[in-house]
């Protein structure tokens, strides 16, 4: 009988196992907000290239740490069982020992914190607050005594740290100010980053519920979770009007519309697909955020 679960793949090599544990298809989720925030800053004045590179490295390290923590923590909590519908996870498959994932995540968090402290010292001590919260959230997302992802707070965390803080913070590094354009861009990019998690949690809703992982999709139920994911897409496109009103310029409001075919394809998938049939939707959500974000960044630069 076909249960819909993913068959166990052959054991990859060590490097391939770590690459898969990094979840490469979604790593751009952390880099897009940095690119958009940097484009916002470019409208207002000169950029410091070192700050942009440091911000991108910090964001990527935080996402890697979050992914590795999620891998071993979900395995230890029993959320990644034999009925898993998504891509195989390293700890659950025995590819990488949970302890090794913990150490790698700790190293990534330490590296991110180190870069962040350098930026705090060079730019503004106020950045210490979102930076410290980001490091804490990366650990507390699925680890610790009260993991955010298990209590329906994962979506809010993603919106804040892959949207609001990442975009606004990346712009602040160069401008030392918070603009309406940065806030508007943060909302639309945060909505699409959250969409990636929303699709993931919709796919895993039944398995998460059995494992006691009370994601927002579990609390909502299947149909509301589908509408919620589609609503995030709508919010991103509607938010482009706000960016234009805030002074982002028409190119910033219009160029991202070129990504609409990707959005429509994803909306159609979200209307009917379930379980493993949503796997293409997860990659599609990450692709939508990447293309939308690249076009938004380009529009901000052209419109500047």
* pLDDT tens, residue order, the chain (304 aa): 233 334 455 678 889 999 999 999 899 999 999 999 999 999 888 999 999 999 999 999 999 999 999 999 998 887 766 566 778 889 989 999 999 999 999 999 999 999 999 999 999 999 999 999 999 999 999 998 899 999 999 999 999 999 999 999 999 999 999 999 999 999 999 999 999 999 999 999 998 998 889 999 999 999 999 999 999 999 999 999 999 999 999 999 999 999 999 999 999 999 989 888 999 999 999 999 999 999 999 999 998 6
For residue 16, tell me if it sits in a domain.
no
Task: Tell me if residue 151 falls in helix, strand or coil.
Answer: strand
How many domains, in total, are found in the chain? 1
For residue 252, tell me if it sits in a domain.
yes
For residue 10, tell me if it sits in a domain.
no
- Residue 201: alpha-carbon gap to chain centroid: 13
For residue 117, tell me if it sits in a domain.
yes
For residue 284, tell me if it sits in a domain.
yes
For residue 2, tell me if it sits in a domain.
no
The one-character DSSP state at 177 is S
**Residue range(s) defining the domain that contains residue 178:** 24-303
CB-facing half-sphere around the CA of 265: CA atoms within 13 A? 12
> Do the Cβ atoms of 90 and 9 come closer than 8 Å?
no
For residue 7, tell me if it sits in a domain.
no
pTM of the model: 0.93
For residue 83, what are its two tokens? 């009925």
- For residue 44, which of 246, 287, 274 has the smallest C-alpha distance? 246
Distance separating alpha carbons of residues 179 and 233, to the nearest angstrom? 24
For residue 68, tell me if it sits in a domain.
yes
């Amino acid at each position: 009988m076909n249960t819909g679960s993913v068959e166990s793949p052959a054991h990859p090599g060590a490097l391939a196992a770590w690459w898969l544990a990094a979840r490469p298809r979604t790593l751009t989720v952390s880099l897009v907000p940095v690119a958009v925030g940097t484009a916002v800053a470019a409208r207002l004045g000169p950029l410091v290239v070192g700050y942009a590179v440091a911000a991108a490295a910090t964001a990527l390290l935080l996402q890697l740490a979050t992914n590795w923590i999620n891998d071993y923590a979900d395995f230890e909590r029993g959320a990644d069982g034999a009925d898993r519908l998504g891509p195989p996870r390293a700890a659950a498959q025995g590819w990488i020992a949970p302890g090794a994932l913990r150490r790698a995540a700790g190293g990534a968090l330490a590296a991110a914190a180190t870069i962040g402290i350098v930026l705090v010292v060079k730019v503004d001590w106020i950045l210490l607050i979102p930076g410290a919260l980001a490091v804490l959230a990366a650990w507390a997302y699925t680890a610790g005594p009260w993991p955010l992802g298990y209590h329906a707070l994962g979506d809010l965390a993603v919106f804040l740290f892959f949207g609001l803080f990442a975009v606004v913070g990346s712009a602040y590094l160069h401008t030392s100010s918070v603009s309406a354009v940065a806030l508007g861009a943060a909302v639309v990019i945060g909505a699409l980053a959250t969409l990636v998690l929303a699709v993931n949690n919709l796919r895993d809703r039944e398995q998460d519920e059995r494992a006691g992982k009370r994601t927002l999709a579990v609390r909502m139920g299947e149909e509301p979770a589908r509408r919620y994911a589609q609503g995030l897409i709508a919010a991103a496109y509607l938010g482009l009007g706000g960016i234009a009103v805030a002074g982002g310029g028409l190119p910033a409001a219009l160029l991202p519309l070129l990504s609409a075919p990707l959005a429509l394809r994803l909306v159609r998938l979200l209307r009917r697909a379930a379980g493993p049939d949503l796997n293409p939707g997860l990659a599609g959500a990450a692709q939508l955020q990447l293309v939308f974000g690249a076009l938004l960044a380009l529009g901000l630069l052209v419109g500047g």
